[in-house]
Structure 1
Amino acid sequence: MAAMIEAKGLTRCFGGLRAVDGVDFTLESGEIHGLIGPNGAGKTTFVSLLSGRVPVQSGTIRLQGEDITQLPAHQRVRKGVAYTFQITSVYPRLSVFDNVALASQSHSAGNVAEGVAEALAKVGLTGLEQAIAGTLSYGHQRLLEVAMGLALKPLVLILDEPTQGLASGEIDGFKTLIRSLVPNTTILLIEHNMDVVMDLAHRITVLNFGQVLAIGTPTQIRQNRAVQEAYLGGDDAAG
């Protein structure tokens, strides 16, 4: 069976900077995969390549065996790759319902109201359908963003720093939510909160200077001396 996502030799340069430098990466179906690394390691650029927000300069990306390297972002969404951004990307003047409905309509000709209700129920926002998105707490806006991603019925949900700004109680709820999504949805989690990554991820990929430093289980990553020196033992960093 083909991996959910398989990337080979991905490279992306900005001027003289090799932000992503020959990265090989496999995302197995139904897993929660953590992506970590120091500030400037290339994490956000890498997931932007996977989602189609930034074009690949060399290398290939396959989704369940299908080559999607040249597909633009909106076509990858239709294929099942949803990416929620590092900063909340809700429409602040629209209602919670309308935010999720826009995502649902873009993906399916089915019953939009049912799709919205299902997505909001999964993230615990049932009852807030008519609230204006911009008036929600920061934590609720992050959950709304996840609901918008889920309304796309994705095969893969890429979450970029989803717990940034959340209170500890909200983080516990977020972890419960993510666990409830697998194995039906495969999760790629870019996260600077090591407790969250180590608690949730089945496997972790560590990037450093645009290259893969290590891949392994949370236990293997914790014990990896190169990772300790480059990241875990150093300054806490995101990006």
Structure 2
Amino acid sequence: MLQPVDLAIREVHIGLWFLVVGYYFYVFTFLLMFRWRESRNPFQLAMALFFLLLAIGRCFYFVGDFYADPSSLYNDLTSVFGMTPLLPDVNPWLAAGALFQWMALATLSATAGFMIFGKRWAEIAFAIPAILIGIILAVVPMEPLVKGILSGGAGAIYALFIPLLFWYLAYQSGGILRRSNFLLGLGFMVLFAGRVIHALRHALADVIFGTYTIPGVLAPGLIVIGLILIATGNEWGQAQ
């Protein structure tokens, strides 16, 4: 029997997110073992921890998105082939994923605070909002709409703040460091764009694309491109 087209598309989406998770772990290992170990630069350690937390969070999201969420079984997979999710409840997986992903943003925000002000209090002040949001999303019972508004609204703020920070640093610096910061800002912008598309994949499929295929490929594709830009920008900064 031929494999259903929808199942093949789903497997492509799964493979792309495997690639994203693998790249997260790869960047973490590279920054920790080959950059921070040599330079002892706190920025490299913070970036490594950021990608580790992203990787762990995405693992939970991966299980929830593809093995506990009924909406991941596209079109005929449920109505014709009678497929059902492997796991009964998606909420614990999404809650754990949100917690780790927001802890990653807290790490990056703390680093941003130190880069701007050079003070310990700035690290703490910049990290606290992301930590609180992560804990609230993980443990506080909320209606899906309220949770979506909180996560989406706060996520949009961070998606703008982090790239703008690096572009501000690029404006303030020069030479290779300017190009490095610009590329880091662009990389984070593209990465966050991919995350937004994934979060809105159902709405995009219904309203714009008419299928899950395009947002399902576009989201992880943008994240991988963003990671490549971030890794390149980090290397340029290391060469400074």
* TM-score bin (small chain): 0.3 to 0.5
More helix by share: 2
Q: Which has the larger radius of gyration?
A: 2
TM-score by length of 2: 0.33
TM-score by length of 1: 0.33
